[in-house]
């Protein structure tokens, strides 16, 4: 199955993509994770996008589209994939339509209050890409999956979160209508606990 996870920053795309990946056996393709890996390794791409990502802006469409196009051509995507954080603009969505036939776009609907609460407590593991919330961690510094050192994402500072939400509303929100017009949109209430939201997603995925 070829699934897109749509939703504002902090709506739970990464958390749900990780669970879906384990259950469905298809890879999670997170453009945010790809960019953070390049930042960490200080690759030429990482250096080019450093200020954009840490400021909450969007990496240029042509760079992002090329990365996703190449990634989706790899063998592990042959039976499907979960796109987490792509597409994020109409230009990206239209480009994707030219090289992939998507089955379903799941829109995680969450209020801004919930988003701010989630992002202010988020911890990220740069070693295994795990995402957690301090409220569920016994030690806020140690990854419960791989033992790596947890960090706070650069772009989770309050002013950057507000900028990400602004850009989401302006550039990404119109994709909800784009996939609705294609008859591929399902909207899921993204508030509530992780297991509750996850079950809602499983119920609406096409069989
Ligand atoms: P990206 O990494 O994609 O960031 P984002 O879209 O802002 O989304 P987040 O990762 O912040 O949130 P999420 O929805 O994954 O929520 P999560 O599961 O972590 O992108 C980062 C940057 O890269 C962008 O700003 C941009 O610069 C660049 N970029 C990426 N893609 C791009 C593209 N296509 N084009 C251009 N630029 C691009 O959950 C959040 C927190 O809530 C966690 O702590 C989690 O544990 C907790 N949580 C999740 N679900 C629940 C629940 N149901 N109940 C309680 N807690 C929950
Ligand atoms: Mg994410």
- Report the run of H or E that residue 198 belongs to, with start and end: helix 194-204
Q: Which of 59, 75, 56 is nearest to 67 (CA)?
A: 59
Q: Are 30 and 85 in contact (CB under 8 A)?
A: yes
**pLDDT < 50: residue spans in the chain:** none
Q: How far apart are CA 9 and CA 157, in angstroms?
A: 13
Q: What is the DSSP string of 20-80?
A: HHHHH---EEEHHHHHHHHHHTT-HHHHHHHHHHHTT-PPPHHHHHHHHHHHHTSGGGTT-
pLDDT at 55: 94
Residue 86 neighbours by CB distance under 10 Å: 24
Q: Are 127 and 20 in contact (CB under 8 A)?
A: no
Counting atoms of ligand 1 from 1, which one is nearest the CA of 31? 31
Q: How far is CA 124 from the centre of its chain?
A: 13
Residues with CB under 5 A from ligand 2 (ion): 14
Q: Determine whether the shortest distance from the Cβ of 10 to ligand 1 is under 6 A.
A: yes
- Distance from residue 156's CA to the centre of ligand 1 (Å): 10
Q: Are 4 and 102 in contact (CB under 8 A)?
A: yes
Structural domain spans, the chain: 2-111+158-204
pLDDT at 45: 98
Q: How far apart are CA 109 and CA 99, in angstroms?
A: 27
Rg for the chain (alpha carbons), in Å?
16
pLDDT at 112: 92
User: Which class is domain 2-111+158-204?
Assistant: alpha beta
pLDDT at 207: 82
State pLDDT tens for residues 144-185: 999 999 999 989 998 899 999 999 999 999 999 999 999 999
Distance of CA 13 to CAs 46, 62, 131, Å?
A: 23, 23, 10
Tell me the pTM.
0.95
Nearest CA to ligand 1 atom 12: 10
- Distance from residue 191's CA to the centre of ligand 2 (Å): 16
């Amino acid at each position: 199955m070829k699934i897109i996870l749509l939703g504002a920053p902090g709506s739970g795309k990464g958390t749900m993509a990780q669970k879906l990946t384990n259950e469905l056996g298809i890879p999670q393709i997170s453009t945010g994770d790809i960019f953070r890996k390049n930042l960490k390794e200080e690759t030429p791409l990482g250096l080019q996008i450093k200020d954009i990502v840490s400021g909450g802006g969007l990496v240029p469409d042509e760079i992002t589209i090329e990365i996703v196009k190449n990634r989706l051509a790899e063998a592990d995507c042959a039976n499907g994939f979960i796109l987490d954080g792509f597409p994020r603009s109409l230009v990206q969505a239209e480009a994707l339509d030219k090289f992939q036939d998507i089955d379903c776009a799941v829109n995680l609907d969450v209020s801004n209050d919930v988003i701010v609460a989630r992002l202010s407590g988020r911890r990220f593991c740069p070693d295994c890409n795990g995402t957690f919330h301090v409220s569920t961690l016994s030690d806020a510094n140690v990854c419960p999956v791989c033992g790596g050192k947890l960090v706070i994402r650069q772009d989770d500072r309050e002013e950057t979160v507000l900028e990400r939400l602004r850009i989401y509303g302006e550039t990404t929100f119109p994709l909800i209508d784009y996939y609705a017009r294609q008859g591929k949109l399902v909207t899921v209430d993204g508030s509530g606990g992780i297991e509750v939201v996850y079950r809602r997603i499983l119920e609406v995925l096409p069989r």
